[in-house]
Chain A
Amino acid sequence: EAQVTQNPRYLITVTGKKLTVTCSQNMNHEYMSWYRQDPGLGLRQIYYSMNVEVTDKGDVPEGYKVSRKEKRNFPLILESPSPNQTSLYFCASKFRGSYEQYFGPGTRLTVT
């Protein structure tokens, strides 16, 4: 089944404790991206990647890192999480020349 998977789905952590949210897709998509969704603010892009080893900042990259060592994986790293990073995070992927994105199931992160 074609899909985007994220892990973990739920995470509660404390300020400053490094964490990684994994994202994997099995559709051979070149383009992958991370979004955060907050009430009243819609989806805001954090980082995106057009292909392996090619990443770029989105609208709200501060406090996040990403890497794209393999085509199927695009992990999101929070080196020192803070409470303002409490949010619902979505990974998405698509073919580079396409517009329709496929979203993962979301990761709800709480930083205390």
Chain B
Amino acid sequence: EDKVVQSPLSLVVHEGDTVTLNCSYEVTNFRSLLWYKQEKKAPTFLFMLTSSGIEKKSGRLSSILDKKELFSILNITATQTGDSAIYLCAVYAGGSYIPTFGRGTSLIVHP
């Protein structure tokens, strides 16, 4: 059975801190890993990763995949209160276009 585990489950930081969120997976025939941000509404797409070692970057957010160790990290530098959200990781594997989601990491950024 495919498994996606996110850690930590929750995180509380202050503005300006840097955070690292982790998504590890155990799947058969990995194809891609996606990160989503969910504020008080629908998840919105952040990054898609398919190759090891290639960093994806958007402003203060960046993500990288390690296919040997089977995990991805999402880094947020100089956090702001607007970064407060649940961050979801989803993995596609095998011949399926149906993702397996992790339980998410809840990030709270205090002013």
Type the 1/0 row for A30-68, where 1 means its CB is closer than 8 Å to any CB of B: 010101000011111100101000000010000000000
Contact: B97 with A41, CB < 8 Å? no
Contact: A103 with B88, CB < 8 Å? no
Residues on B with beta carbons closer than 8 Å to the beta carbon of A50: 97
Contact: B101 with A43, CB < 8 Å? yes
The stretch of B13-21, B41-49, B66-74, B75-83 that contacts the partner chain: B41-49
Residues on B with beta carbons closer than 8 Å to the beta carbon of A106: 41-42
Within 8 A of B (CB), among A56-112: 58, 90, 94, 96-106
| Nearest-Cβ distance from residue B50 to partner chain A, whole angstroms | 9
Contact (A99, B99) CB under 8 Å given A42-B104, A43-B88, A90-B42: yes
Residues on A with beta carbons closer than 8 Å to the beta carbon of B90: 43
Nearest A residue to B41 via CB reads A105
Contact: A103 with B42, CB < 8 Å? yes
How far does the alpha carbon of A71 sit from the alpha carbon of B44 in the complex, in Å? Answer: 22
Contact: B43 with A103, CB < 8 Å? yes
Residues on B with beta carbons closer than 8 Å to the beta carbon of A104: 42
Q: How large is the interface on A (under 10, 10 to 19, 20 to 34, 35 or more residues)?
A: 20 to 34
Contact: A100 with B102, CB < 8 Å? no
The reply on B98 being an interface residue by CB < 8 A is: yes
Residues on A with beta carbons closer than 8 Å to the beta carbon of B92: 99
Residues on A with beta carbons closer than 8 Å to the beta carbon of B43: 43, 90, 103
Contact (A99, B103) CB under 8 Å given A45-B98, A105-B41: no
Residues on A with beta carbons closer than 8 Å to the beta carbon of B99: 99, 101
Residues on B with beta carbons closer than 8 Å to the beta carbon of A40: 9, 103
19 contacts between A and B (CB under 8 A): A35-B101, A40-B9, A40-B103, A42-B88, A42-B101, A43-B88, A43-B104, A44-B101, A48-B98, A50-B97, A58-B98, A90-B43, A99-B32, A99-B97, A102-B45, A103-B43, A103-B44, A104-B42, A106-B42
